[in-house]
């Protein structure tokens, strides 16, 4: 199977609006699970997050800052147990960074506004992008439309 090369996300248009807080400030605003995922780069167990099977129409925003990240029409069933999307809501809302925590390098996905860890992106998604943004439910808030 031919794999599509990952597309680099443009530098955030929100760079001048970056949200920077201390660990203590984040702990006051987020749940322990949200802190674990967004601030400590944790991962929730597969098939346990509240959005992996969500089929409602709406927008998925960052649980840390409210930045709209993904829309429901870009969500697809990947079978992985995490919400999966084939593209972000718009250019510049996420940033990608190489992650060397596992044996093989992966591409980490971060919120461009608050630098919160969202998940990872892989080259095994559906058309039209061929990408699978595998995102933790705990990093997201869903706004139904």
Q: What is the largest CA-CA distance in the chain?
A: 46
Q: What's the CA gap between 133 and 117, in Å, rounded? A: 12
| Rounded CA separation 99/105 (Å) | 6
Structure tokens at 10: 């443009």
Q: In what order do the strands lie in the sheet with 117-122?
A: 75-76, 84-85, 132-135, 117-122, 106-111, 94-99
**Of 35, 62, 114, 134, which is the active-site residue?**
134
Q: How far apart are CA 114 and CA 79, in angstroms?
A: 29
Whether residue 134 lies in the annotated active site: yes
Residue whose token pair is 């972000």: 88
Catalytically active residues are 134
């Amino acid at each position: 199977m031919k794999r599509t090369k990952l597309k680099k996300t443009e530098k955030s248009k929100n760079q001048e609006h970056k949200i920077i807080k201390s660990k203590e400030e984040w702990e006051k605003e987020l749940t322990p699970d949200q802190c674990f995922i967004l601030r400590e780069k944790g991962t929730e167990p597969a098939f346990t997050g509240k959005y992996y099977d969500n089929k409602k129409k709406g927008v998925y925003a960052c649980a840390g800052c409210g930045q709209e990240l993904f829309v429901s029409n870009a969500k697809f069933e990947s079978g992985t147990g995490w919400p999966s999307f084939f593209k972000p809501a718009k250019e510049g809302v996420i940033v990608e960074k190489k992650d060397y925590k596992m044996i093989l390098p992966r591409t980490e996905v971060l919120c461009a506004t608050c630098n919160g860890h969202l998940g990872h992106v892989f080259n095994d998604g559906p058309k039209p992008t061929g990408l699978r943004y595998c995102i933790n439910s705990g990093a997201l808030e869903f706004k139904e439309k």
